[in-house]
Amino acid sequence: MADGFSGLGYGYGYAVAKDNICVLANSYTTVRAQRSRFFGPGGSGDVTVSSATTNLASDLYFQQVNSSGVVWSLVAQPAPRGPQREVRDMVAGYVEGYNRYLRDVGGAAGIGDPTCRGGQWVTPITETDVWHMLHAMATYAGTGSMVDGIVNAKPATATSGLAANADTAARFRAGLGERFGENSPGSNGIAIGAEGAARDNSILLGNPHFIWHGVNRFWQAHLTVPGKLNAAGAGLLGTPFLSIGFNDKIAWTHTWAAPVTFGLYELKLAPGDPTSYLVDGKKERMIRTTVSVPARQPDGRLAVVTRTLYATRFGPVTSNAASMDLPWTTTSAYAVRDANATNMRLMNTSFGLATAQDTAGVVDALSRTQGLPIFNTLAVDRSGNALYADIQVVPHVTDALAQRCATPLGQYLFHTAGLALLNGADSTCAWGADADSVEPGLLGPSRMQRLVRRDYVTNSNQSPWLSNPHAPITGYQRILGDAYTERTPRTRESILSVEEGLAEGGFTAASMRQMLFANRSRVAELAAADTARMCAAFPGGLAPSAGGPVDVTGACGALSTWDRTYSLDSRGSLLFERFVMKLVPSAPVPASLPWRVPFDPQAPLTTPNTLDTGRADVQRAFGDAVAELRAAGIPLDARLADHQTVTRGDQRIPLPGGSWQMGILNVVHPVWHPLAGNVEVATGSTYIQVVAFDGSGCPNVTTLLASSQSADPTSPYYADQTAMFSAGRWVPSRFCEESNLAAPALRVVHLTR
């Protein structure tokens, strides 16, 4: 609590630094372009801030951003295109509070966390650092996802161009989902209105599947400025405000959305000059930027590395996007335009949501600020309304523009993946503008989808189409998502579980929590029995595998008696997951198992189904899964709790849940170790909230931060909620003042400036 927003930021900065100083300092080193200086040019970059595979690539990219001055030019603009007054005050106070904590502990040498104690890179921060971090988070899914391609693009280094065929397009489409590999985030959001609630006016489940490590992990807070703000929830560490949360009248959550927020332009290069391109037949020289960064050598010396980066009127030239090479030849090259490159509005949106009074106010905040970089919003209010809204930053590429301007390959990509690959030689192929958009180049909010219901809405990272199957949303521009296409097993599980809950009399907060932690697998319910029968039918109990026939007799019983869940005591779940993971690509796009019954748009929740166990690749994948577990010394009927764990200090914590490919709501996307099983979490259920409004002045809230509040192994909050997540226990929220004051563990710290 504070008497103003600068003071609120001060307390926030102090508290978050106390819990996570090493994570924050590491990421501020990233956006300062100083990773190579302190950690050497190799390493793996900071994948929670960008896709850079090395420290050097990260530094070259961020140094170019910093030198361009784009961030401060955005900050200097008045709201809504620039930060509003409350946000500016929060950021200024946050910087002071962060630095106060660092000063109080005696600088880097006094930090309790051994991860960064004494690190030369742990220094006071500036407002510039925070604004650069916010810009990096806004562009995370755009230019931030193709850092290597931008810094490594060199003129005329390829001899042949990109093949415009279905194979290239299919690999491109898969790459859109793979651009952060196993760190690809996701979420479930379920909003229940008055007609879907058994006793309450409305209930919201917020279940983001975000990163467990780094600056994109969640941190909980309750923020109060009397008479101006009173909201609680969690924010990503890089944003000094709430990302998801609730107040006394509304609750909101976000899910990773379907639109691709960047677009590509194919450049027609000027004859004999691979660093110039033609627009309407006129030659334009690329913008050359010389970037230099210091890099620590093995002997400790600092050597300056210099690179030339290239940009166009559309944006930077890149040699790679969505895991696909984009060749720069003597006749063509590719540039990327990121719709979030000028987005410094994210915290405006968050502030608007935190102060909204109903779902209409949520829509107003989203529309007025248009700052969400890649997220849907689901919300409920005390009046019993449930809202789905996909109002965010989206390129203004209409179906008509794509039809006229997409390259031959771009036509296929736009249809199948919503990615705009346009003709850069025609100036009329520039992104359009709407009168109600915050800035030119973006679709206006009036073109975007929203649905208010009194029963329910839901989203699990797919398009708006089946937010509620009783009121399908159609007719939107392709860039906003597809329709009448196969839904992922997780989308189907979400909707079918809600329908079951309604049929049983409607939801309560308790039944919502139980539904999430039931850990049901939609894929298991569709395919486990068939898989067990396939196992039993192998001649002599031998299945084919990459290493030759493998004895699978012990696997058949494990699958036939498995309860089809990913609960700690379930047996057979790990075997089934490894089998499915060998059949389904890791990219988070609707990649289907080999089903016998194909998808039917008239029955989107029940098709496809029936695993085609007669296929050789299905049988071989099963044999490979059995061989893999045997090689790791894991029993085929092992309990999930024994081989899906995280280690925190000397504590080994078993985790329920499973990969999104299993069609499970409680996603835990594990890090597989071939000799130990699932030994860590890359992404998965993080900050979970169930918020119910019952007509009283105080919302009924339970939360759980599965990754825990602190990354400091010496903190008592390092693994406490991870252990609660393991046990299926929730934290009752104390939102109203009287309940806060009555908390037995209440500790008040007064900070003066």
Residues with active-site annotation: 187
Residue pair 60/307 in contact (Cβ under 8 Å)? The answer is: yes
Nearest Cα residue to 711 out of 92, 123, 26, 100: 26
Rounded CA separation 159/149 (Å):
17
Nearest Cα residue to 700 out of 556, 531, 510, 558: 510
Residue pair 185/682 in contact (Cβ under 8 Å)? The answer is: no
**Residues 530, 605, 663, CA angle at the centre, nearest 5°?**
60
- Buried/exposed code over 114-142 (b: 16+ C-beta within 10 A; e: otherwise): ebbbebebbbebeeebbbbbbbbbbbbbb
Residue pair 520/565 in contact (Cβ under 8 Å)? The answer is: yes
Cα maximum dimension of the chain? 77
Residues whose CB falls within 8 Å of the CB of residue 232, separated by 6 or more in sequence, listed in order: 220, 221, 222, 223, 242, 245, 246, 247, 701, 733, 735
Residues whose CB falls within 8 Å of the CB of residue 659, separated by 6 or more in sequence, listed in order: 577, 580, 581, 667, 668, 669, 670
Residue 649 burial class via C-beta count within 10 angstroms: exposed 0-12, middle 13-18, buried 19 and up: exposed
Residue pair 58/35 in contact (Cβ under 8 Å)? The answer is: yes
Residues whose CB falls within 8 Å of the CB of residue 657, separated by 6 or more in sequence, listed in order: 519, 566, 664, 666, 667, 668, 684, 685
Query: 101 is written with which tokens?
Result: 């904590």
Phi/psi of residue 232, nearest 5 degrees: -135, 165
Rounded CA separation 708/220 (Å):
9
Residue pair 36/305 in contact (Cβ under 8 Å)? The answer is: yes
DSSP state of 469: T
Q: How many CA atoms lie within 13 A of 638 on its CB side?
A: 22
Query: 260 is written with which tokens?
Result: 């691709």
Phi/psi of residue 663, nearest 5 degrees: 70, 45
Rounded CA separation 377/304 (Å):
45
Residue pair 315/143 in contact (Cβ under 8 Å)? The answer is: yes
Nearest Cα residue to 393 out of 336, 347, 438: 438
Nearest Cα residue to 573 out of 589, 595, 546, 555: 555
Nearest Cα residue to 433 out of 447, 415, 417: 447
Rounded CA separation 381/192 (Å):
10
**Strand spans (E) along 312-366:** 320-321, 324-325, 332-338
Percent of residues in the chain assigned helix, strand, coil, to nearest 5: 35, 25, 40
* End-to-end CA gap in the chain: 14
Nearest Cα residue to 125 out of 42, 34, 204, 50: 34
Residues whose CB falls within 8 Å of the CB of residue 361, separated by 6 or more in sequence, listed in order: 250, 352, 355
How would you write 384-419 as a 3-class SS string? CCEEEECCCCCECCCHHHHHHHECHHHHHHHHHHCC
Rounded CA separation 17/129 (Å):
14
Radius of gyration of the chain measured on its C-alpha atoms: 26
DSSP state of 506: -
